[in-house]
Structure 1
Amino acid sequence: MIRRNLLASVALAILALATPAFAQDIAFSSDQSYPESFTYSAKQDIFMLGSVTQGLVARLDRAGKYSPFISDDRLVSTIGLLVDDASNTLWVTNSDPGAGMRTTAATQGKLADVATYDATTGAPKAYYDLGSLSQGAHFANDIALDAAGNAYITDSFAPLIYKIDTEGKASIFAQSPLFMSGDGFNLNGIAWHADGYLLVGKYNSGELFRISTTDPTDIRPVNLPEALVGADGIRLIDGDHLLVVQNLAANRTVELTSTDGWQSATITRAVASKLSMPTAAVAAGDGTYILNARLDTLFDPKAAKVGDYLLQEF
């Protein structure tokens, strides 16, 4: 019996060493980089984060070690990030909210670019100027990929969703008055659903839209129990469950559940943020993490600037 228990203990120890441990928060520090979004590469077992102030991409391991990865003079503020392990490509949206070291009058509130890089080496692959596709203010925000590899990008300052197809052609995918209802940030987080539609959040009004990928004029508001004002990053857990990260006064992440193909949804879980201004959610291994970005301290001229952030386990 003792020998059997000993063997069982050894087997459990080996299994624990072989299984990534994601069951706790990951605190990290940087030189006031203020990451707005992040992504996770299962292939490399590494997080990648952007920077509103420095316009770089950094790597973060599970121990909380933060190290710069990509430095590109074209990048003003790296906002949305998404790694595609299948093609070994990192997608980055590049915008200018006026808080970056490369901010200029020519780009502030007008920049909506997307850059792609080799996810392993950081070597540049392609660069897209999406703002040139339409007049007015622009802010390329979040990005989603469908199963074929087409990219969809929200523009928070214009009532637009862009598409970059697998041949590298950029176009306006969807445009509607529903996407614009006031100043500041409108469309924000975006996710692709395998049944052939996008789920897109609207920051200032707290709405959620379902948009067909085969007919982009088919735009339907999802019936929610309450307006999710401050809805920033969103992340599908599976076909019926969606995480919505809320900042502004909410400072929480909610889990939405739908039983009717996202015609409607209910709130089935809500978790308060430990630090201020959560912005994005990412699934990594057997855990899901929320970025506590603390951007409120960046944009408040009276607040002390910070360099400590948190990936909060959800």
Structure 2
Amino acid sequence: MSQTIAIAGAGGLGKHIVDAILEDGKHKLIVLSRGTNQELADRGVEVRTVDYSSVESLTKGVAGVNVIISFIAERSETNSQINLYHAAVAARVKRFIPSEWALDVQKYDDKPSLYEFKRKFRQFLADQNKIEYTLVCNGLFMNYLLPAGTKKYLQDVDINISIEKRTANVPGTGNQPMVLTMAEDIGKAVVWLIDDPKPWPKYTYIKGTVTSWNELIKYGEEVTGEKFDVSYVPLETLQANYEAAAASGNFLKKFFAEIGVMYATDGVLDLPDNEDPSLFEGIRFTQVKELIDITYKK
């Protein structure tokens, strides 16, 4: 059944979701934008200019919409997502996917601290009963393993290992399990969710590959035929770095130090299986060993 989908924050991962919806072709797509977005308009996407500080403006923006997918990143008390929720209720939107797209927020609701706006909105959604929602968790983006400049819409982010440079700065032992998922596969999974008529679970897990830092190093060395320059940072050192960063009052230093502790802690980067095993039936998720082989094999 064709639906009207609105995306809030169509940058980075949001653009991958745009691609997936357009490629699927069943649904009408609307992008909510603070300004004009000629690039998307040229692709046939309806762009609606909105003011995220105004519920009235957002209500007009989501008129006729069935599902809202949010990628909003807030760094201050702007309440953009809460305003978007109130607009969704006013416009009788049926479903809402808030801005998550990372860790298992069922277990790690308070991390990282920079994303306090997400924790706040999770609680807000839990206390309401006017709109159906699901919290999507997908681990780290597997795209970060690609060479610099080839990650399409995603930035060149350092995730402690560079197969391109044959280096790894491993947090902790390197054996802790972690989930990596291609952004393109997340797009396919989101389209699957949109089409699914069953009630959404509170938590939805999109799992591409379960691996570890040490396995990534092993795969990289096997495929490239070269030994990596590898160093390990003990969890105790990372925790000391975090305490020093927190005491400094520098918010970004604290954030990156907190990320280091998280990456070294068992379980934080892993995801459970979905309670409903039928979720995402028919989707073939990219496997990390396959990606490394295709990208880096000589």
Please classify the TM superposition score into its range, dividing by the shorter chain length: under 0.3
Q: Normalising by structure 2, what TM-score?
A: 0.26
Select the structure that is richer in strand. Answer: 1
Select the structure that is richer in helix. Answer: 2
Structure having greater relative contact order (Cα 8 Å, sep ≥ 6): 2
